[in-house]
Chain A
Amino acid sequence: MDGLGPGDDNSGHTAPAVPQAALKLTGLTKSFGAKHAVNALDLRVEPGEFYALLGPNGAGKTTTLRMAANLLRPDSGSISIFGVDARANPVAAKAITAWLPDEPMLYDKLTPVEYLEFIAGLWNVPPAVAQKRAAVLLDILELGPNRNVRCEGFSRGMKQKVALAGALVHEPRLIMLDEPLTGLDAAIARQVKDLLTARVREGATIILTTHILEVAERLATRIGIVRSGRLVAQGSMAELRAQFGGTASTLEDVFLTLTTGQDAPQ
């Protein structure tokens, strides 16, 4: 997938190349019965961004990411990941993507090393490379002492760290995370945040959903707010403040203004 980076253009035209979006959702729609979970949503995340998708419960954040991760078929709309049409060519899109749900997807009877070996195999990472990456990730996440211990006895935080290592071992260009910090203690949450920030510095793109507004405020380069399946606002923290609050307003003020109609406290 390396040939699909920004600026690649095989069409022969000489028009200035539009930078390719890491994730581009156009008119994405999904209904469950009469309920519109996602309603003609347009979203563009640029390469190297740390994008936080916020919204109240049932706003359609997870459904949006599940569609982008090929876990749900949209009713209509398109999904493009680094220029790859994810609906027409899901395997190519998945090859450069990682998905981390709120509940870690682990095998209790495998050890962290075996789990990472499995994931690296699925993503066809050369064994020698995968082995090195696995060792580094386990060390960074302080899982080294438990590398050969079956995951069945792990705490939720440890399981989440193993799942995160799995999501990163194939070095995806786009990392999608659904509530990655829910239920983690402060120390583990810090490790996860540091690792994600480091990945963005190295060039990866991250889009995450979270209810912890402080995480979005501190980590995200841009924030999108979803309500009733539609993107109602997006921008950097400063842009959101300028548009919907005041210079002294917090993300919580902006969020409440946009999602519940409450005015920000003066």
Chain B
Amino acid sequence: MIVRPGSFLWLLIHDLRVSSRQLTEVIAHWSPRTAAAFVIGSLIIAHGLAWGAFGLRAANPGLFSANALATGAIGAALWMIAQGLLGATRSLFERGSLELLFASPLAAWKAVASRAVAIAASSFFALAPILLPLANAGALRDDAAWLAVYPLLISMALAGTAVGMMVAIGLFFTVGPRRARQVSQIMAALIAGGFVLVVQIGLLLPKDLAADIIAWGRQLLGGSAGHLEAALSALTSRISLDIATLAVGLLASLVLFVAAVAALSSAFASATLTAASAADGPAKLPTSARPFRQGPGRSLRLKEWRLLVRDPNLFAQLGLQIIYTLPLAVLLLRSPQGIPPAIALTPLIVVLAAQIAASLAWITVSGEDAPELLATAPILPAQAARAKLSAIALPLAVILALPLLALAAVSLQATLCAIAFGTLAACSTALLNVWHPMAGSRRSLLRRHSQSKVIAIAEHGLALLWAITAVVALVELPLALIPMSLIAGILWLFMPKRHAGPGRNGVAAAVAAISGKKPAAC
């Protein structure tokens, strides 16, 4: 079929091709055979895990209860809205492709519509690898109704993108181009993470307190409470949706999507062009006559702290990481075996320390904005790496202070254990990121794991093993040597072999990675 250049379909194919290349960036350099083996292998593993999950259903009937499914569906829908908002905001502020399209004789709606479809497709394919294997396994092991996940996911992606676009444009014209990007990123983080947080807080609260809050909420809502409960109950009971309902839902989301594109096309085009010239208006800081600091180490640390403090989006992303760790706490605290709080909280703090340290190390090393500047400064790469690692200690301590205080109220021994193993965990995951830097922008912190799945797995593995070590150390200290030997093995495996020590070549390698050259180890 020949697609006419300039038509909507032609543009859509172009946008989808670009989006798919971003999604498959990791495997793009592999041979077709390796890439195919990876995709097929991943599909088999995902389906195997989904099949296994349905096997667990017999032991745990609540696993796929209507309530759990409704909660998951609401979470997925909110996540899709957050993705739509992020995608729309990114399109607004990314100079280049959209600016080029708007400067061309193409109708604005075509450019906006094809970009919106690309955003929806990205959202769909981000959740599809997790949810579709579940749907397939469910259809085979339980009920064909599980296949409803397919149209449901498409509906959510379309509606999420439409809502995301509306919010992005609304923010652009209400708070202004300069703040719109930051506000929408924070809002997206709150939408995606807030739901998880609310659900987890509800589960964490003592039952009496939760009941009191629900009663207070009912009192506050008055007569509306009954309607709300009826609506939620209807939603829950309709989780196994019939074909007609699904078709209506799909049609409604499609109408919403088309309406949003039609209504917002010109506003989107005008906002994109405005953003190109006024995106980051200057922010004036209070004048100060503070004397300059001396020394490379101090200067590097001060620079890193300034950049961290001035990036609210970064805090939102770190906050999301913390929120995503909460389910683990709930699982441990609510386990039927009745794990003591000290044993439950210690590994959680260790995992948090490992994850946050890894993120901060990635920001300071891989997310370095001026790697060539550091590479041409009269400092050794190891010196720069040490300064950067020491810079992340302070924000890490600030973030973990509250959970450590909470733990201290429960057990001093567990607190000391959490501090010791949390520090070791933080050092190990930070080193992993210094040893294997990857070019990246600070804004793409949450997507950093898509750069290297191997490093991602190693990082999670280290966090988990340190958490196990902390628990084992609390119970029987000598036994902690077993997981620690595994950790040592992982670190040895990932340690750069051709260089003298930790961080020896970190910044230089980051320079090389970012400038697309071989390591500059002169």
Tally A-B pairs: CB < 8 A.
Answer: 134
- Please, which residue of chain A has its CB at the minimum distance from the CB of B519? A73
- Please, which residue of chain A has its CB at the minimum distance from the CB of B287? A148
B376 x A150 contact (CB < 8 A): no
Interface residues of A in 81-137 (CB under 8 A from B): 86-87, 90-92, 94-95, 97-99, 101, 105-111, 114, 117-128, 130-131, 134
B369 x A106 contact (CB < 8 A): yes
Check B302 for interface membership: any CB of A closer than 8 A: yes
**Contact A109/B310 with A122-B379, A148-B284 known, Cβ cut-off 8 Å:** yes
Check A168 for interface membership: any CB of B closer than 8 A: no
In the complex the two chains form, what is the Cα distance from A113 to B512 in whole Å?
A: 28
**Interface range for B:** 35 or more
**Contact A121/B296 with A71-B372, A107-B369, A152-B283 known, Cβ cut-off 8 Å:** yes
A121 x B307 contact (CB < 8 A): no
B375 x A121 contact (CB < 8 A): no
Partner of B299 from the list A111, A117, A150 (CB cut-off 8 Å) is A117
Partner of A121 from the list B281, B294, B376, B518 (CB cut-off 8 Å) is B294
A71 x B518 contact (CB < 8 A): no
**Contact A105/B286 with A90-B522, A110-B303 known, Cβ cut-off 8 Å:** no
B299 x A118 contact (CB < 8 A): yes
B280 x A122 contact (CB < 8 A): no
Check B1 for interface membership: any CB of A closer than 8 A: no
- Please, which residue of chain A has its CB at the minimum distance from the CB of B370? A105
Check A249 for interface membership: any CB of B closer than 8 A: no
Partner of A153 from the list B283, B374, B378, B521 (CB cut-off 8 Å) is B283
A152 x B298 contact (CB < 8 A): no
- Please, which residue of chain B has its CB at the minimum distance from the CB of A67? B522
- Please, which residue of chain B has its CB at the minimum distance from the CB of A117? B292
A121 x B520 contact (CB < 8 A): no
**Contact A120/B282 with A71-B376, A73-B520, A99-B372 known, Cβ cut-off 8 Å:** no
Check A69 for interface membership: any CB of B closer than 8 A: yes
Task: Name the B residues within 8 Å of A114 (CB-CB).
Answer: 303, 306
A70 x B300 contact (CB < 8 A): no
* Per-position 1/0 for B263-293, Cβ under 8 A of A: 0000000000000000011111111100111
A150 x B522 contact (CB < 8 A): no
B282 x A150 contact (CB < 8 A): yes
Query: How far apart are A185's CB and chain B's nearest CB, in angstroms?
Result: 16
Query: How far apart are A176's CB and chain B's nearest CB, in angstroms?
Result: 9
B280 x A70 contact (CB < 8 A): no
Check B380 for interface membership: any CB of A closer than 8 A: yes
Task: Name the A residues within 8 Å of B519 (CB-CB).
Answer: 73
Instruction: Please list 19 pairs of residues, one from A and one from B, whose beta carbons are closer than 8 Å in the complex, sorted by A's number.
Output: A70-B376, A71-B372, A71-B515, A90-B522, A91-B378, A92-B378, A94-B376, A95-B378, A107-B307, A118-B300, A119-B377, A122-B299, A122-B379, A124-B296, A127-B291, A127-B293, A131-B291, A131-B292, A153-B282
In the complex the two chains form, what is the Cα distance from A87 to B311 in whole Å?
A: 38
Task: Name the A residues within 8 Å of B280 (CB-CB).
Answer: 108, 152-153
A71 x B375 contact (CB < 8 A): yes
Interface residues of A in 39-89 (CB under 8 A from B): 67, 69-73, 86-87
Check A195 for interface membership: any CB of B closer than 8 A: no
Check B373 for interface membership: any CB of A closer than 8 A: yes
Query: How far apart are B20's CB and chain A's nearest CB, in angstroms?
Result: 28
Check B511 for interface membership: any CB of A closer than 8 A: yes
Task: Name the B residues within 8 Å of A101 (CB-CB).
Answer: 372
Chain A residue total in the interface (Cβ 8 A): 49
Task: Name the A residues within 8 Å of B286 (CB-CB).
Answer: 148
In the complex the two chains form, what is the Cα distance from A150 to B369 in whole Å?
A: 14
In the complex the two chains form, what is the Cα distance from A88 to B361 in whole Å?
A: 29
Query: How far apart are B388's CB and chain A's nearest CB, in angstroms?
Result: 13
Check B517 for interface membership: any CB of A closer than 8 A: yes
A121 x B517 contact (CB < 8 A): no
Among the interface residues A67, A97, A127, A153, which one has the most CB atoms of the partner chain B within 10 A?
Answer: A153
- Please, which residue of chain B has its CB at the minimum distance from the CB of A127? B292
Check A188 for interface membership: any CB of B closer than 8 A: no
- Please, which residue of chain B has its CB at the minimum distance from the CB of A152? B280
Partner of A71 from the list B285, B287, B307, B520 (CB cut-off 8 Å) is B520
In the complex the two chains form, what is the Cα distance from A152 to B294 in whole Å?
A: 25
B522 x A107 contact (CB < 8 A): no
**Contact A69/B285 with A107-B370, A117-B293, A126-B294 known, Cβ cut-off 8 Å:** no
Check B338 for interface membership: any CB of A closer than 8 A: no
A residues within 8 Å of B by Cβ? Answer: 67, 69-73, 86-87, 90-92, 94-95, 97-99, 101, 105-111, 114, 117-128, 130-131, 134, 146-150, 152-154, 166
B378 x A110 contact (CB < 8 A): no
Task: Name the B residues within 8 Å of A126 (CB-CB).
Answer: 294
Task: Name the B residues within 8 Å of A134 (CB-CB).
Answer: 292
A105 x B306 contact (CB < 8 A): no
Among the interface residues A109, A110, A119, A150, which one has the most CB atoms of the partner chain B within 10 A?
Answer: A109
B372 x A73 contact (CB < 8 A): no
Task: Name the B residues within 8 Å of A107 (CB-CB).
Answer: 303, 307, 369-370
In the complex the two chains form, what is the Cα distance from A118 to B298 in whole Å?
A: 9
Check B32 for interface membership: any CB of A closer than 8 A: no
- Please, which residue of chain A has its CB at the minimum distance from the CB of B278? A153
A97 x B283 contact (CB < 8 A): no
Query: How far apart are B387's CB and chain A's nearest CB, in angstroms?
Result: 10
In the complex the two chains form, what is the Cα distance from A119 to B515 in whole Å?
A: 21
- Please, which residue of chain B has its CB at the minimum distance from the CB of A176? B376
A118 x B378 contact (CB < 8 A): no
In the complex the two chains form, what is the Cα distance from A45 to B366 in whole Å?
A: 35
B307 x A109 contact (CB < 8 A): yes
Task: Name the B residues within 8 Å of A110 (CB-CB).
Answer: 303, 306-307
B370 x A87 contact (CB < 8 A): no
Task: Name the B residues within 8 Å of A73 (CB-CB).
Answer: 518-522
In the complex the two chains form, what is the Cα distance from A106 to B149 in whole Å?
A: 47
A146 x B522 contact (CB < 8 A): no
Query: How far apart are B37's CB and chain A's nearest CB, in angstroms?
Result: 28
B296 x A91 contact (CB < 8 A): no
**Contact A128/B291 with A71-B372, A122-B377, A122-B379 known, Cβ cut-off 8 Å:** yes
